[in-house]
Structure 1
């Protein structure tokens, strides 16, 4: 605990006496979902991506939960802040309070995670009743009330410390892009090409049984559609196939999932490496969503085997000579990256300015102004 937290007064509170805790309103089994294309978060007990398993459309037979709450998966001990309305999978609990916001919610998450550690799969298993009876230690005012302002200000300061270096890095990257050139790109003609024309190396990874994995720090890329295809980290050196600076496509499992890897990794036999020597990351990134459309054609029961992938064709931009226009692809993605950086920078700047104003500082200038 840092000095500021240690100097503040704390007190134990029974969760059910200060929060509204209940099961979520939707609780939809994944197999019952409809309208799978949309922008509404579907929250599960996953410990990744803020608990978001996917984004879906309206579910006519279910009611959404309101945002500005904490969601908890008791058996997985996962807890996240949900700022907007959402649907959930099964066994998700919701914690509400009228004074909650994204800053003090971040503080609460850490405090509640500490009490969740006492739950286990033995005789002290996690239940909604036990959660409600549990006590959480929180900072208090001189009147022995929860100090919501302290929690919010503390997390604003922590966010500011994280955002300032990030803003500086974004500014530097954007400045470098402006110096190196830019401008709007011209349109390009498109033509179909077989995979063997596009890539100089097409090679499947090598089978490595889970029981043979050793502890290490090398990314292990398999057929998962999450985390850029990384299914864990291993230390195996022998009897494995390593790749880097390439695209992988899942042959089975999440068939058609495509990711770019600039780092060295071990590939399972469920993915195939697609590589062209001399190609930069931007051209690779341009092709990722195009190749990913193969997932519409294949399924778990129809895998992308070695022969099928060599027969596949993809549409790519071409130059005046009719050759693949890798330069256009690279420039296009650099423009996309610049747009994303500017949008991200503006969001970060707005948050920093809001934090500075809330804490009595002035508006940021200098390097933060483009």
Structure 2
């Protein structure tokens, strides 16, 4: 078990930006929620920009990996995993989500940056320290399996479509 603050320093959070005050732009703006991965708008406002390869945790405890720069409102905590390799950061995000998204946070009891700092997560260990190399290997393997499954699915659908086309052509003759 590892404490997030000990691993990544203090978590931070964005600032409130009411919908009416948002200026249209290119920067993804993250708020609480599952719809569109929490991206509520693309803004041009002058806000704090968070680094890519970080993790957000919304007010309900839902953690998401961000592979892009973004702004965020005061209902998200940002865990600064940006110094980790990408796949290790994805693994850590999954561990955070498992620890934080357990039903204890809701509209009456929001998850805040201070909650992230107090959060303990379970990670693989090597010599008493987080084994980021094995985390990368695991996520890389999962990534490859998913890609393989998608390729197989597309090939299957192509075959089905070809068979339908052949049958339709045979009926026309």
If the TM-score is normalised by the length of the shorter chain, which range does it land in? 0.7 to 0.9
State the match for 1:20 in structure 2.
none
Deviation string, structure 1 residues 311-345 (Cα, Å, up to 9, x no partner):
221111111x1100111111101111111111111
How far apart are the structure 2 equivalents of 1:309 and 1:278?
18
Residues 260-279 of structure 1 mapped to structure 2, 5 A cutoff: 260-279=65-84
SS of the aligned residue for 2:42 comes to strand
1:354 Cα deviation (Å)? 1.8
Q: Is contact 1:204–1:272 with CA below 8 Å preserved after alignment?
A: yes
Could you state the TM-score of these two structures normalised by the residue count of structure 2? 0.86
SS of the aligned residue for 2:71 comes to strand
> Is 1:312 matched up with 2:119?
yes
State the match for 2:54 in structure 1.
246
How far apart are the structure 1 equivalents of 2:107 and 2:134?
34
State the match for 2:34 in structure 1.
225
How far apart are the structure 2 equivalents of 1:311 and 1:201?
10
Q: Is contact 2:30–2:76 with CA below 8 Å preserved after alignment?
A: yes
> Is 1:211 matched up with 2:16?
no
Q: Is contact 2:54–2:67 with CA below 8 Å preserved after alignment?
A: yes
Query: Whose Rg is larger?
Result: 1
SS of the aligned residue for 2:130 comes to coil
State the match for 2:162 in structure 1.
356
State the match for 2:7 in structure 1.
198
SS of the aligned residue for 1:224 comes to coil
State the match for 2:148 in structure 1.
342
Unaligned runs of 5+ in 1: 1-191, 361-370
SS of the aligned residue for 2:144 comes to helix
Q: Is contact 1:200–1:277 with CA below 8 Å preserved after alignment?
A: no
Residues 55-94 of structure 1 mapped to structure 2, 5 A cutoff: none
How far apart are the structure 1 equivalents of 2:16 and 2:93?
24
State the match for 2:105 in structure 1.
298
Residue from 322, 346, 349 that aligns with 2:128: 322
Deviation string, structure 1 residues 84-103 (Cα, Å, up to 9, x no partner):
xxxxxxxxxxxxxxxxxxxx
How far apart are the structure 2 equivalents of 1:306 and 1:274?
8
1:210 Cα deviation (Å)? 1.3
Q: Is contact 2:81–2:89 with CA below 8 Å preserved after alignment?
A: no
Q: How many residues align?
A: 164
Q: Is contact 1:200–1:276 with CA below 8 Å preserved after alignment?
A: no
1:358 Cα deviation (Å)? 2.6
1:280 Cα deviation (Å)? 2.1
Higher relative contact order (CA 8 A, sep 6+): 2
The 10-residue stretch of structure 1 (305-314 or 204-213) with the greater mean CA deviation from structure 2: 305-314
1:201 Cα deviation (Å)? 5.3
The 3 A distance-change label for structure 1 pair 277 and 263 is closer
SS of the aligned residue for 2:101 comes to helix
Deviation string, structure 1 residues 181-227 (Cα, Å, up to 9, x no partner):
xxxxxxxxxxx111112214521112212111011222110001222
Unaligned runs of 5+ in 2: 167-173
